[in-house]
Chains A and B, each alone.
Chain A
């Protein structure tokens, strides 16, 4: 019994490390044509990784379904872009990322997290 509980504990720790930190498969999408919809719900941006091209105007249409105040804001670090998202009303955020690189976007508390990859 003791060994089993300890093995379960070790397995859980390894699993947590692997699932949340190592195995980082996230929903990805490429902005093509007009706007890309990003659903803001239950602690997750979907898609959470967005690919776009430097120098091209991009429109991200955030559709916030979560009424929790945590999800109210979306802030992009490294580029001067932010928005206050209304509930259930799509919010179009249009900007032109000039530089290539990876820019994180997150809610004010950093619980919702996503990444804009400018190629």
Chain B
């Protein structure tokens, strides 16, 4: 039993400078009760500890031996991260309150006029105390801004901290100068701005806290996915069912899942049947029936029966882990649209510093009296109101929410660029088999020529097709199994890409394929041609069979159209997108399927290797093209399209050729992806317009551009509030996407 609570924790240990340090640290860790095994690695400065002991105790033990240990990332749980965030959030609120209370108190006493005149010694003492109080605000609640500004200044860079610290610092220095030497400034300019400096610090801390809270919500999609992972699994070990932590599940373990339980890892059903709710992973609302041999995915919920399954993907290889990894990576990518904002934000702060200097000079040279007061108010307002954060956040924060939203619908977006392009599509090309149709064709017609029988026709066709990997071949072999036909052993087999197969047995030559194959080999199809046309009109794919130069008959194979394909295609068309079907089938079959699902156009008789060329042709006509296919046979076309969608690939998440992977088989995934991309793109534009607009309007107003016309000059306190609100607004706007329904 004890074994279950034992874990191996990995730590980074800093300050290891020699081999003797290793011994010291090892001794310190071994002395902690509960530790079984310790291994300190000098080369990579890590310590691995196995045992039943908390991380905190181990870190403390290393600390007491004179070194510093920190838990390696793998072991740091998301709850620890959340705790860190909470601590930081509370710290920001505390600093807001301290700065706010002091700031408001200073504002009250100066406004009420209860303080003695600043030119008197008692006045100087009173204002001196206020100056010290403000200094406390600047150095404690506002300390991080000054530390950050100094450090980045030394590194020849500037950021938001630079603006805040210069703004509040200038206000404090000027005010303190007035307190120390009130007679040096004219009577009208003898104002102090301690309240301004303190309240600005309060506002900026409050803004950071609100922004942090709002940001937490932007990563809810990831948290939700992480939350799908159960903590334990019930496995069969030595004939008994035992509950073990999920990390201890091994490949090949037989796992028991009872009704209502979450499936812990990926695997294949070994016993029993059930219905499984995969909606959290695939967006598929209806529970999927599962029987012996079917795949189950970790994180999905068993709805009805109890079953056993064999684990075949564990740990980081499970579909859920891959989805989390993919979403997280995609959330960290920026689409092209954010490039300009990135460029602007990289030169933003020094530019604002220059504008602030010019503002100062303009008020000094052209401003009314008291020049010093106006100079100070306008310069501080410019420094404080400028918000590089809103600009920098505008794009990535919407991408985070958009990518997360898409994942909720089983749409996995690989990069931010795909999100942008999916929102700008003009044409969507759909592969027919497996995309519009189920991809599980069945033999629906057997037409033997006179002198032959259905059995003989099917037997020869299936004998040849069992050597093929084509989806249609599977249908033929399946049909022969249903009739319990005994197949012939084939001696030679040659696939003729896009046309069919040539094979031989007992010195007999079999040709199996489309009419072109037959014509090329001089086979006279006769009456079969008419029958073939009739079947094609019904949407069936026709395969002719010829034996030793004579037609033997034909097989009609149909692949049922997915029930929601038509509706999904209509959704795409309603959003202004032209939908084109691409297929290797002949024109008649393709035309029938096309009219049944209502696509705008279709391209038939396309060989697999030519699919990518068809995409290029559309792109040359100026279309922004998406290709939707299975991700394996269509890989070149997916890679060549502006956006490649791999559809309904089940548990296989990481399809390199696809920009977007759809976890469920429905074409609604494409329509959802397009709708979410459009909404995200719109949201990014709103944010960018807002952030650019805010800065281009607010900075000149703060500089006093309205003053000559309507006598308005912005108070630095208002500037501080506006700045704090601007980035919160951007994050809140991005969060609106969380409520979007495609």
- Asked if B350 contacts A27 (CB within 8 A), the reply is no
- Asked if B158 contacts A20 (CB within 8 A), the reply is yes
Interface residues in A33-73 by Cβ distance below 8 A to B read 34-35, 41-44, 46, 48, 66-70, 73
Q: Does B489 contact A (CB under 8 A)?
A: no
- Asked if B76 contacts A89 (CB within 8 A), the reply is yes
Chain A residues closer than 8 Å to B84, beta-carbon distance:
67, 86-87
Q: Does A108 contact B (CB under 8 A)?
A: yes
Interface residues in B124-158 by Cβ distance below 8 A to A read 144, 147-153, 155-158
Q: Of B157, B160, B211, B365, which is within 8 A of A6 by CB?
A: B365
Residue of A nearest to B162 (CB): A43
Given known pairs A6-B365, A16-B357, A17-B354, the reply for A26 and B156 (CB within 8 Å) is yes
Chain A residues closer than 8 Å to B392, beta-carbon distance:
108-111
Q: Bound state CA distance, A31 and B361, in angstroms? A: 46
Chain A residues closer than 8 Å to B334, beta-carbon distance:
75, 77
Q: Bound state CA distance, A16 and B365, in angstroms? A: 21
- Asked if B158 contacts A90 (CB within 8 A), the reply is no
Chain B residues closer than 8 Å to A23, beta-carbon distance:
156
Q: Does B639 contact A (CB under 8 A)?
A: no
How would residues 385 to 424 of chain B score, 1 for a CB under 8 Å from any chain A CB and 0 otherwise? Answer: 0001101110011000000000000000001000000000
Given known pairs A86-B73, A86-B76, A90-B70, the reply for A69 and B211 (CB within 8 Å) is yes
Q: Bound state CA distance, A16 and B351, in angstroms? A: 9
- Asked if B156 contacts A42 (CB within 8 A), the reply is no
- Asked if A16 contacts B353 (CB within 8 A), the reply is yes
Q: Does A92 contact B (CB under 8 A)?
A: yes
Given known pairs A13-B357, A90-B73, the reply for A109 and B388 (CB within 8 Å) is yes
Chain B residues closer than 8 Å to A5, beta-carbon distance:
361, 364
Chain B residues closer than 8 Å to A46, beta-carbon distance:
155
Q: Bound state CA distance, A95 and B346, in angstroms? A: 26
Q: Bound state CA distance, A46 and B43, in angstroms? A: 22
- Asked if A89 contacts B345 (CB within 8 A), the reply is no
Q: Bound state CA distance, A20 and B389, in angstroms? A: 19
Given known pairs A6-B364, A70-B389, the reply for A41 and B81 (CB within 8 Å) is no
Residue of B nearest to A46 (CB): B155
- Asked if A42 contacts B148 (CB within 8 A), the reply is yes
Given known pairs A13-B358, A111-B345, the reply for A25 and B156 (CB within 8 Å) is yes
Task: State how many angstroms separate the Cβ of B71 from the closest Cβ of chain A.
Answer: 6
Q: Does B487 contact A (CB under 8 A)?
A: no
- Asked if B357 contacts A44 (CB within 8 A), the reply is no
Chain B residues closer than 8 Å to A113, beta-carbon distance:
157, 346
Q: Bound state CA distance, A25 and B153, in angstroms? A: 12
Q: Does B427 contact A (CB under 8 A)?
A: no
Residue of A nearest to B731 (CB): A69
Chain A residues closer than 8 Å to B151, beta-carbon distance:
41-44
Which of B71, B354, B391 counts the most chain A CB atoms within 10 A? B354
Given known pairs A2-B364, A42-B148, A75-B333, the reply for A26 and B155 (CB within 8 Å) is yes
Residue of A nearest to B150 (CB): A42
Q: Does B735 contact A (CB under 8 A)?
A: no
Given known pairs A9-B358, A16-B354, A19-B156, the reply for A69 and B215 (CB within 8 Å) is yes
Q: Does A103 contact B (CB under 8 A)?
A: no
Which of A20, A21, A67, A87 counts the most chain B CB atoms within 10 A? A20
How would residues 3 to 18 of chain A score, 1 for a CB under 8 Å from any chain B CB and 0 otherwise? Answer: 0011001001100110
Residue of B nearest to A27 (CB): B155
Task: State how many angstroms separate the Cβ of A98 from the closest Cβ of chain B.
Answer: 15
Q: Does B12 contact A (CB under 8 A)?
A: yes
Task: State how many angstroms separate the Cβ of B21 from the closest Cβ of chain A.
Answer: 16
Q: Of A13, A27, A110, which is within 8 A of B354 by CB?
A: A13
Q: Does B44 contact A (CB under 8 A)?
A: yes
Residue of B nearest to A61 (CB): B12
Q: Of B144, B156, B215, B347, which is within 8 A of A24 by CB?
A: B156
Q: Bound state CA distance, A92 and B80, in angstroms? A: 18
Q: Does B435 contact A (CB under 8 A)?
A: no
Q: Does A84 contact B (CB under 8 A)?
A: yes
Chain B residues closer than 8 Å to A25, beta-carbon distance:
156
- Asked if B345 contacts A48 (CB within 8 A), the reply is no
- Asked if A82 contacts B333 (CB within 8 A), the reply is yes
Q: Does B332 contact A (CB under 8 A)?
A: yes
Task: State how many angstroms separate the Cβ of B393 from the closest Cβ of chain A.
Answer: 5
Chain B residues closer than 8 Å to A44, beta-carbon distance:
151-152, 155, 157
Q: Does B212 contact A (CB under 8 A)?
A: yes
- Asked if B43 contacts A34 (CB within 8 A), the reply is yes
- Asked if B156 contacts A111 (CB within 8 A), the reply is no
Q: Does B161 contact A (CB under 8 A)?
A: yes
Q: Bound state CA distance, A69 and B44, in angstroms? A: 28
Residue of B nearest to A11 (CB): B357
Residue of A nearest to B12 (CB): A90
Interface residues in B78-106 by Cβ distance below 8 A to A read 80-81, 84, 87-88, 91
- Asked if B350 contacts A17 (CB within 8 A), the reply is yes
Task: State how many angstroms separate the Cβ of B363 from the closest Cβ of chain A.
Answer: 10
Task: State how many angstroms separate the Cβ of A39 from the closest Cβ of chain B.
Answer: 10
Q: Does B605 contact A (CB under 8 A)?
A: no
Q: Bound state CA distance, A27 and B151, in angstroms? A: 12
Chain B residues closer than 8 Å to A42, beta-carbon distance:
144, 147-148, 150-152, 161
How would residues 149 to 179 of chain B score, 1 for a CB under 8 Å from any chain A CB and 0 otherwise? Answer: 1111101111111000000000000000000
- Asked if B88 contacts A84 (CB within 8 A), the reply is no
Q: Bound state CA distance, A12 and B159, in angstroms? A: 17
Chain B residues closer than 8 Å to A9, beta-carbon distance:
357-358, 360-361, 364
Q: Does B19 contact A (CB under 8 A)?
A: no
Q: Does B342 contact A (CB under 8 A)?
A: yes
Q: Does A96 contact B (CB under 8 A)?
A: no
- Asked if B332 contacts A73 (CB within 8 A), the reply is yes
Chain A residues closer than 8 Å to B43, beta-carbon distance:
34
Residue of B nearest to A85 (CB): B73
Q: Bound state CA distance, A101 and B70, in angstroms? A: 34
Chain A residues closer than 8 Å to B342, beta-carbon distance:
106, 110
Q: Bound state CA distance, A13 and B350, in angstroms? A: 9
Task: State how many angstroms separate the Cβ of A58 from the closest Cβ of chain B.
Answer: 14
Q: Bound state CA distance, A110 and B393, in angstroms? A: 9
- Asked if A20 contacts B12 (CB within 8 A), the reply is no
Q: Bound state CA distance, A24 and B158, in angstroms? A: 12
- Asked if A89 contacts B148 (CB within 8 A), the reply is no
- Asked if B81 contacts A86 (CB within 8 A), the reply is yes
Q: Does A30 contact B (CB under 8 A)?
A: no
Q: Bound state CA distance, A23 and B156, in angstroms? A: 8
Residue of B nearest to A108 (CB): B396
- 15 new A-B contacts at CB < 8 Å, known A5-B364, A80-B333: A16-B354, A17-B354, A19-B156, A20-B158, A34-B44, A43-B149, A48-B157, A67-B88, A75-B334, A86-B73, A88-B70, A108-B393, A109-B389, A109-B392, A110-B388
24 contacts across the A-B interface (CB closer than 8 A): A2-B364, A13-B357, A16-B350, A16-B353, A21-B347, A43-B157, A43-B160, A43-B161, A44-B155, A48-B157, A68-B88, A69-B212, A70-B389, A83-B332, A84-B328, A86-B80, A89-B71, A89-B72, A89-B76, A106-B342, A108-B397, A109-B392, A109-B396, A111-B392
A-B pairs with the 9 shortest C-beta distances?
A109-B392, A82-B332, A42-B151, A42-B148, A9-B361, A20-B350, A43-B152, A43-B159, A111-B159
Residues of A within 8 A of B (CB): 2, 5-6, 9, 12-13, 16-17, 19-21, 23-27, 34-35, 41-44, 46, 48, 66-70, 73, 75, 77, 80, 82-84, 86-92, 106, 108-113
